[in-house]
């Protein structure tokens, strides 16, 4: 952000509608932190001819507090350097068009508070990942949930199945019982928080659905029946497609063990089918990256291409990257300060102005396509 004078309105710009399409050009104003539509053109208006405006992108599964894949490597950075890396990562994330994120563990409230709010996306925190080891160390899952909530979490992140780093041969056995997941949801709900469940597949997804969790993370082996039940319960799938291809690259480069290969290859092959099952069942899909390294932060728009590559139309992927993520975050947010994921009268003025139609292949992920990012109506020049 700078102290320079920037436009507070654009005339003749195309805006994304609720169907993921762009209607006839209109005038949009973003003064006062809110969107207003129409009105008389003014001398200071941005000429929106050939420009497109979409709501601010939402990364519904990020690890901004992580700057390396391995915990041992993360610890080597030290507290001061880690803080600087987090601030830089979030600045890059904002500059790339993401005006809101849900951090899925690793970023704490103090680290977030150290960064001026106009230099980073709006953020909701899980603070820590709760797996069986964390739950046992806390004296039980309920105690672990209470500790996360006490540390400022708005989301309780349950690691309900094994993931990438699981030993060879590990399946989809649930980490927590159905009753444990239900109790975690009840405890979070008392504080107005939500539960997000890392589950590659199996009965852990069934438990999450029946417990009332708000989102399924990854969902690689989601079944048709699970997708339908999750849709009926108003849940959201956050698939995080691209990260598993990045992990394949890390294995090829020798930075991750070759023993991970078979499990990751299976995930990459199955994941697109889960996305299409969710789409066909009417289950909301939100963009999430699962990014957690210096190199990955700020490249989240490539996940849009991954969603399209999995079979979503560009229109569906745009809604996943904007409205669906915003609606998910709104479930645990103060409504007055919650992004709506829409360019609409009275909506929070979080938006991205683009030189290219984002439905064109590669347009949204092209850094040169961004003219500006608006955060609460504040103009951010991505070049800075």
Ranking 192-196, 228-232, 267-271, 334-338 by mean pLDDT, the lowest is: 334-338
* Domain-located, residue 200: yes
51 and 140 inside one domain: no
100 and 163 inside one domain: yes
- CATH number of residue 48's parent domain: 2.30.40.10
* Domain-located, residue 1: no
Strand 57-62 relative to strand 52-55, pairing: unpaired
2 confidence band (pLDDT: 50, 70, 90): very low
* Domain-located, residue 157: yes
pLDDT at 341: 93
Distance (Å, rounded) from C-alpha 181 to C-alpha 204?
9
Q: Which domain holds residue 361?
A: 9-55+341-380
50 and 67 inside one domain: no
* Domain-located, residue 3: no
Task: For 312-328, write each residue's pLDDT tens digit.
Answer: 999 999 999 999 999 99
* Burial class of 88 by CB neighbour count within 10 A (0 to 12, 13 to 18, 19+): middle
120 and 194 inside one domain: yes
Please choose, from the candidates 125, 203, 179, 122, the residue with its C-alpha nearest in 3D space to the C-alpha of residue 157: 125
- CATH number of residue 238's parent domain: 3.20.20.140
Task: For 368-382, write each residue's pLDDT tens digit.
Answer: 999 999 999 999 877
Residue-averaged pLDDT of the chain? 94
pLDDT at 334: 67
185 and 156 inside one domain: yes
* Domain-located, residue 376: yes
328 and 366 inside one domain: no
Task: For 241-284, write each residue's pLDDT tens digit.
Answer: 999 999 999 999 998 899 899 999 999 999 999 999 999 999 99
Diameter of the chain by CA atoms? 66
* Domain-located, residue 62: yes
50 and 63 inside one domain: no
Question: Tokens 């959201």 identify what position?
Answer: 236
Q: What percent of the chain has pLDDT over 70?
A: 97
* Domain-located, residue 2: no
171 and 135 inside one domain: yes
Task: For 148-170, write each residue's pLDDT tens digit.
Answer: 999 999 999 999 999 887 766 67
Distance (Å, rounded) from C-alpha 23 to C-alpha 17?
7
274 and 359 inside one domain: no
20 and 119 inside one domain: no
316 and 373 inside one domain: no
CB under 8 Å, gap of 24 or more: what pairs does 29-35 form?
30/349, 30/351, 30/374, 30/377, 31/377, 32/349, 32/377, 33/348, 33/349, 33/376, 33/377, 34/346, 34/347, 34/348, 34/349, 34/377, 35/343, 35/344, 35/345, 35/346, 35/347, 35/348, 35/349, 35/351
Number of domains in the chain: 2
287 and 323 inside one domain: yes
* Domain-located, residue 185: yes
The residue from 304, 321, 336 where one domain ends is 336
């Amino acid at each position: 952000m700078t102290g320079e004078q920037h436009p507070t309105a654009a005339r003749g710009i195309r805006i994304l509608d609720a169907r993921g399409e762009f209607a006839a050009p209109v005038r949009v104003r973003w003064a006062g932190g809110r969107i207003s539509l129409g009105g008389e053109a003014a001398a200071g208006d941005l000429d929106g001819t050939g420009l497109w405006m979409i709501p601010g992108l939402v990364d519904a599964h990020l690890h901004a507090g992580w700057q390396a894949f391995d915990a041992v490597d993360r610890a080597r950075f030290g507290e001061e350097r880690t803080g600087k890396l987090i601030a830089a990562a979030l600045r890059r994330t904002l500059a790339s068009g993401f005006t809101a994120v849900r951090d899925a563990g690793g970023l704490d409230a103090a680290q977030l508070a150290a960064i001026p709010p106009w230099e980073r996306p709006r953020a909701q925190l899980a603070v820590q990942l709760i797996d069986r080891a964390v739950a046992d160390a806390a004296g039980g899952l309920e105690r672990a949930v209470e500790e996360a909530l006490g540390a400022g979490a708005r989301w309780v992140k349950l690691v309900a199945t094994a993931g990438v780093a699981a030993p060879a041969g590990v399946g989809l056995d649930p980490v927590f019982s159905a009753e444990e997941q239900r109790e975690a949801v009840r405890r979070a709900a008392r504080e107005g928080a939500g539960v997000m469940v890392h589950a590659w597949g199996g009965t852990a997804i069934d438990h999450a659905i029946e417990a009332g969790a708000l989102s399924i993370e990854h969902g690689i082996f989601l079944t048709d029946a699970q997708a339908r039940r999750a849709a009926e319960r108003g849940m959201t799938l956050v698939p995080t497609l691209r990260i598993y291809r990045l992990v394949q690259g890390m294995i090829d480069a020798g930075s991750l063990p070759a023993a991970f290969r078979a499990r990751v290859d299976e995930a990459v092959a199955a994941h697109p089918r889960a996305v299409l099952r969710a789409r066909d069942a009417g289950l909301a899909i939100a963009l999430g990256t699962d990014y957690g390294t210096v190199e990955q932060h700020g490249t989240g728009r490539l996940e849009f291409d991954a969603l399209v590559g999995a079979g979503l139309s560009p229109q569906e992927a745009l809604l996943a990257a904007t409205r669906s993520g915003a609606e998910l975050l709104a479930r645990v947010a103060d409504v007055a300060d919650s992004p709506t994921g829409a360019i609409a009268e009275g909506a929070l003025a979080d938006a991205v102005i683009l030189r290219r139609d984002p439905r064109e292949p590669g347009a949204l992920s092209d850094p040169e396509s961004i003219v500006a990012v608006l955060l609460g109506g504040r103009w951010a020049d991505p070049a800075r």
